[in-house]
Amino acid sequence: MAKSNVKVLGAWPSPYVMRARVALNIKSVEYEFLEETFGSKSQLLLQSNPVHKKIPVLIHGDKPVCESLIIVEYIDEVWSSGPSILPSDPFDRATARFWAAYIDEKWFPAMKAIGAAQGDDARKAAVEQVAEGLAQLEEAFQKTSKGKDFFSGDKIGYLDIAFGCFLGWLRVTEKMNGVKLLDDAKIPGLAKWAEKFSADPAVKDVMPETDKLAEFAKILAAKMRGAGAPK
């Protein structure tokens, strides 16, 4: 596959962009990473995703594919000769999609609320909500991993990608708010899983460094304050 035939429009801090990059790495697909500038949108991005106008976008040949989890599924189907990303069993596949949707719709917004919380009570409530979600995901991990390293078993799969690409931001949230979320005493399965996911060859080169991501988070927060409200 020629490198120029596959492109990813994105930005290094984005967990959603990371999903597409990890999936391509699992399939050993060479691709060109086109970095978008924070605060602006390239003409290629606007042309490729005119509905949402956001990253990531996978461009395969001249065809754009949008939305991170849709991109992951597309990669799995197109490069079918590589390791499978989605479970082959329909129930397992449905379960993985359920938890991926939960992470995007419930868990990650709760984690973002920790940093945005006004006052100790609101912050404590947000931390408790995130911890409760992690306890549920720990239970899901124990059921779906069947005693192996990843949600999908021996190798990284769909739910590993969906959840694991938020680990950088989870560590930043811990660092900037003085909280322990990945507590190996409370969620030992997820704590070990997080280490193995981050160290995997498909992941380690695209997982943002915590300190670098924390600096970006500070800049982002300052810009949001300057704009008067988050956008």
Transcribe 174-199 into DSSP letters: HHHHT---S-TTT-HHHHHHHHHHHH
Q: What's the mean pLDDT in 199-224?
A: 92
Q: What's the mean pLDDT in 185-193?
A: 97
Please give the tally of structural domains in the chain: 2
Is residue 26 pLDDT above 50, yes or no?
A: yes
**228 domain residue, yes or no:** no
CA distance 76 to 70: 10
CB-count burial class (<10 Å; 0-12, 13-18, 19+) for 190: buried
- Do 73 and 167 fall into the same domain? no
Rg over CA atoms, the chain: 18
- Which band of pLDDT confidence, cut at 50, 70 and 90, is reported for residue 133? very high
Domain final position from 78, 113, 139: 78
Domain final position from 55, 78, 101: 78
**221 domain residue, yes or no:** no
pLDDT of residue 230: 40
- Do 34 and 72 fall into the same domain? yes
Higher pLDDT, 164 or 118: 164
pLDDT of residue 231: 35
Rounded to 5 degrees, φ, ψ at 6 are: -125, 125
- Do 120 and 208 fall into the same domain? yes
* CATH at residue 200: 1.20.1050.10
Q: What's the mean pLDDT in 85-96?
A: 97
Q: What is the pLDDT of residues 35-61, one digit of tens each?
A: 999 889 999 999 999 999 999 999 999
**144 domain residue, yes or no:** yes
**180 domain residue, yes or no:** yes
pTM for the structure as a whole:
0.94
**198 domain residue, yes or no:** yes
Q: What's the mean pLDDT in 118-145?
A: 95
Contact criterion met (CB below 8 Å) for 159 and 99: yes
Q: Reduced to 3 states, what is the DSSP secondary structure of residue 210?
A: helix
Nearest partner of 207 among 175, 164, 151, judged by Cα: 164
CA distance 184 to 192: 8
- Which band of pLDDT confidence, cut at 50, 70 and 90, is reported for residue 227? low
* CATH at residue 46: 3.40.30.10
Is residue 77 pLDDT above 70, yes or no?
A: yes
Contact criterion met (CB below 8 Å) for 82 and 27: yes
User: Could you please report the per-residue DSSP string of 90-153?
Assistant: HHHHHHHHHHHHHIIIIIHHHHHHHHH--SHHHHHHHHHHHHHHHHHHHHHHHHHHTTSSBTTB
- Do 74 and 95 fall into the same domain? no
- Do 17 and 59 fall into the same domain? yes
Is residue 198 pLDDT above 80, yes or no?
A: yes
- Do 49 and 126 fall into the same domain? no
Q: Domain range spanning residue 149?
A: 90-212
**231 domain residue, yes or no:** no
Domain final position from 78, 101, 121: 78
- Do 39 and 95 fall into the same domain? no
Is residue 228 pLDDT above 70, yes or no?
A: no
- Do 199 and 105 fall into the same domain? yes
The residue assigned the tokens 């909500």 is 129
